[in-house]
Each structure stands twice: as structure tokens, then as C-alpha cells.
Amino acid sequence: MISTLKGIWTRYWGILILLAAWQFFVSINNINSIVAPSPQAVVLSLINNADYFAGEALRTTLTASGGLLLGLLLGIVIAALAWSTPTLSGLLMPMALLLRSIPIVAFVPIIVRIAGYGTHTVLIVTTVLSFFPCYVFALSGFQEVAQVRKDFCRSVGCKTVGWRFFRYVAMPTAVPNILTALRVLAPTALLVALVAEFLIGADGLGYVMLRARSDLEMDKSWAAALLASVLSVAFFALFSWFDKKYRSNWQA
């Protein structure tokens, strides 16, 4: 217990320095709280509105995770289709690339036009933006089966294109790639959900930021931002842990 605390301390004491510098900067320069609230004010705002923040944070977390998982599922399914039908991948890859290269601020209004305002639109945006990397990672994972394993499969009469090969060899081979996609995408999905909420005005931390800013409640807006970064880091840590735990089973 003490050693873990010590570990956390040695790794993250820089954060304390940052907080102290922030507080120092704000009080020395006597900056108006509308420009930059002090850490103290931000923390107080968090504590005073704990229920409110918890509810909104939960909402954003759920939308982000939902979008991430849907994007992952969609990515895997489409990648499986592209794997089984190479001509299809010639169609899918450019489409996926196009989808990915539209900036989120341009992308969101288009989706809103189609799907309307609301949390479901945030979910769609997160799903679509998670889809592409998942698709790429999964597809390259399916194609990464080592020659010696393919040879073995063929030697027992299993073609390296069919369902059985996919189910027993290609699919499991892609697991480390999918873990990587999850780890890299989890924090991004959260930020995408946040931005979408902000732009659409759907409930969640993004909307908290939007409203607090227009009400000039900077402490609240900053608190939401702080909470979002903490969540993002937590997402990354969670999926890194997950990745670490299972990846080693894929080393021969």
C-alpha cells in the first residue's frame, strides 16, 4: 500500500507542481476569475456540485464507451467482410478514409442535419470516428497470420480463406491489434463525445462547459474540463491495463 502510494508520488508529483504554479500565478497576478479561476475555486465548484458533475460525467462516459464499442464492433465486422472479399476492401478503404478525413467540426453539423439534436447523435459521431481506426487495426490483424500457421492450416485441409480459418486463426490473431486500437482510441472517444456534446448542445460534460461559459461561470467550465481530462486519463489507464493483461497470452 505504502509502496504503491510512493510509486504514484514519484511518477506524478509533477501534477502537484503544476497545480501550485497555477494557484500562484492566479493569485499573484490577481487575475479575474472570469479569465482564469484558481484551482481552489475549481475544486470547490466540483465539490459543491458533486451530484450534478457526476451525473453529466457518467452520461459522457456512457456515450463515449457506447460509441467506442459500437465503432469497434462495426470495424471488426466490416474488416471481416473486407478480409473475406478483397474486392470489397477496395471499396471500403477509400470510403473509410474519406469519412476519417472530414474534420469533426465539419462532420458534426452534417450528422445533426441527418439525425437531429440529442445524445443519440453524439453516439453516432463517436461511433463513426472510432470505426475507422478499428477497421484498419482489425483488418491488418486478420492479415497478419504467420506463414508457418497458414501452412499448418492448409496441411490439415483448411483453406486460408474460409470461415473456419477466420474463426480459429485469423480472428484470434487480430486480438493484440484490437487491444491496441482500444487503448489508443479510448481517450480519443471521450474527447470526441465531449466535443460533439459541446457542438450539438446535448447533455453531458461538453454541454456543461458550453453553458457555464455562456453564464460566465468559469470555475464550473474549468471543473468540467478538469473532470474530462481525468476521465480521459482513466480511460487510457483502464484500457492499457486491459491490454497488458491479455496481450502477453499472445506471445508464443
Partner 1 sequence: MGDLENCVMSNTSHAQTLQAVAGKPREAESASITGPSEIALTNVSKTFALGKGQTLDAVSNVNLNIAGGEFIALIGASGCGKSTLLRMIAGLEDPSQGSITIAGQSPEDCIKRQKLGIAMQEHGLMPWLSAWDNVALPFRLAGLPVDTERVDELLALVGLADFAQALPKQLSGGMKQRVSIARALVLKPDVLILDEPFGALDAVTRRLMNNELQRIWSQQPTTTILVTHSVEEAVFLADRICLMSPRPGRLALIEEVELNRPRGLDTMHEPEFRQTLAKLTAALDDVCTQGSRQ
Contact range with partner 1 by CB under 8 A, out of 134-142, 143-151, 206-214, 231-239: 143-151
Contact window for partner 1 (CB under 8 A) among 35-43, 82-90, 150-158, 235-243: 150-158
Q: How far is the CB of 150 from partner 1 (least distance, A)?
A: 9
CB of 158 to partner 1, least distance (A): 4
Neighbour count for residue 13 (Cβ, 10 Å): 10
Quote the least distance from Cβ 161 to partner 1, whole Å: 13
List the x/- string, 86-115, binding to partner 1 by CB under 8 A. ------------------------------
Task: Tell which one of 57, 125, 128, 153 touches partner 1 (CB under 8 A).
Answer: 153
State which of positions 173-202 bind partner 1 (CB under 8 A): 175
Closer CB to partner 1, 164 or 213, in the complex: 164
Asked whether position 168 contacts partner 1 by CB under 8 A, the answer is yes
Which residue from 183, 66, 171 is spatially nearest to 128, judged by alpha carbons? Answer: 66
Interacting residue with partner 1 among 73, 118, 164, 180 (CB under 8 A)? 164
Q: Which is nearer to partner 1, 175 or 226 (CB)?
A: 175
The single residue among 62, 69, 158, 184 that binds partner 1, judged by CB under 8 A, is 158
Locate cell 474530462: which residue? 228
For the record, the C-alpha cell of 131 comes out as: 470505426
By CB under 8 A, residue 251 contacts partner 1: yes
Rounded to whole angstroms, the Cα distance separating 79 from 100 reads 16
Binding to partner 1 by residue 156, rule CB under 8 A?
yes
Q: How far is the CB of 177 from partner 1 (least distance, A)?
A: 13
Residue 144 as a binder of partner 1 (CB under 8 A): the answer is no
Cβ(38)–Cβ(222) below 8 Å: no
Taking alpha carbons only, the member of 66, 72, 70, 59 closest to residue 228 is: 59
Phi-psi region of 20 (alpha: psi -120 to 50; beta: other; left: phi over 0): alpha
Backbone angles phi and psi of 215, in degrees to 5: -90, 5
103 vs 157 by CB, closer to partner 1: 157
Q: Which of 41, 70, 78, 169 binds partner 1 (CB under 8 A)?
A: 169
Is residue 244 close enough to count as binding partner 1 by CB under 8 A? Answer: no
Q: Residue 45 has which C-alpha cell?
A: 465548484
Tell me the C-alpha distance between 186 and 62, whole Å. Answer: 12
Number of Cβ within a 10 Å radius of residue 68: 27
Rounded to whole angstroms, the Cα distance separating 72 from 74 reads 5
Give the residue carrying C-alpha cell 448542445.
Answer: 201
Cβ(104)–Cβ(196) below 8 Å? yes
Q: Site residues (CB under 8 A) for partner 1?
A: 146, 148-149, 151-158, 164-165, 168-169, 172, 175, 248-252
